[in-house]
């Protein structure tokens, strides 16, 4: 087993737990559709995180190209996986009894959810740089602009209760993430 395979085991577990959190949350929504009020904006964030985590896992393979691993880099990659997991966990609380539905829940927890999610963009920028200058340059100026824009827009969602703002940011983030994933995903050999 190489160093990358060894290091990626823990991040794989954390990402797997996040995906399991999302999938079990969606299954719970289906099972309790009569009791829990679903919020379409919430579902866009669920879809966004699902695509984001699958896409992130795909790209993390490129870290296998690193010849030398420093403990700080390992902790950083681990932090990224943990932040994504926390976003997934925050989307589906274990107890909804204190909330009128997912809209109420998301608005009450928006500070935590959106600030953690916004921080993942800065982590991603470092992660992209960690894969090498050539990889960072290949991502292009669109990547840098999109990353900074997403950080600001999603960070702004932590500050406002505007349903229109939340809807617009959720749809835009999900759509852009899908576009980015399918446009810039290549094969791995």
pLDDT value for 5: 83
Residue 140: predicted pLDDT: 86
For residue 66, the model assigns a pLDDT of: 74
**Tens digits of residue pLDDT in 114-140:** 999 999 999 888 878 877 788 788 888
Q: Write out the H or E segment, with its range, that includes residue 129.
A: helix 110-130
What are the residue ranges spanned by the domains of the chain?
3-184
Apex CA 118: angle with CA 57 and CA 152, to 5°?
130
**Residues with pLDDT less than 50, the chain:** none
For the chain, the maximum distance between any two Cα atoms, rounded to a whole number of angstroms, is 53
Residue 187: per-residue pLDDT:
56
- Name the pTM for this structure: 0.89
């Amino acid at each position: 087993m190489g160093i990358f395979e060894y290091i990626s085991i823990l991040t794989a577990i954390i990402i797997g737990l996040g995906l399991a959190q999302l999938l079990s949350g969606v299954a719970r929504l289906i099972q309790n559709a009569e009791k829990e009020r679903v919020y379409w904006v919430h579902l866009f964030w669920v879809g966004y995180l699902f695509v984001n985590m699958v896409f992130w896992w795909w790209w993390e393979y490129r870290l296998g190209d690193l010849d030398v691993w420093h403990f700080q880099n390992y902790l950083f990659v681990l932090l990224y996986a943990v932040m994504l997991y926390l976003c997934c966990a925050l989307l589906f609380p274990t107890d909804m009894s204190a909330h009128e539905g997912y809209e109420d829940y998301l608005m009450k927890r928006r500070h935590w959810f959106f600030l953690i999610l916004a921080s993942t963009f800065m982590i991603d920028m470092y992660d992209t740089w960690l894969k090498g200058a050539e990889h960072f340059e290949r991502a292009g100026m669109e990547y840098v602009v999109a990353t900074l824009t997403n950080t600001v827009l999603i960070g702004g969602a932590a500050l406002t209760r505007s349903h229109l703002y939340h809807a617009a940011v959720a749809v835009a983030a999900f759509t852009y993430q899908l576009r980015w994933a399918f446009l810039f995903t290549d094969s791995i050999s």
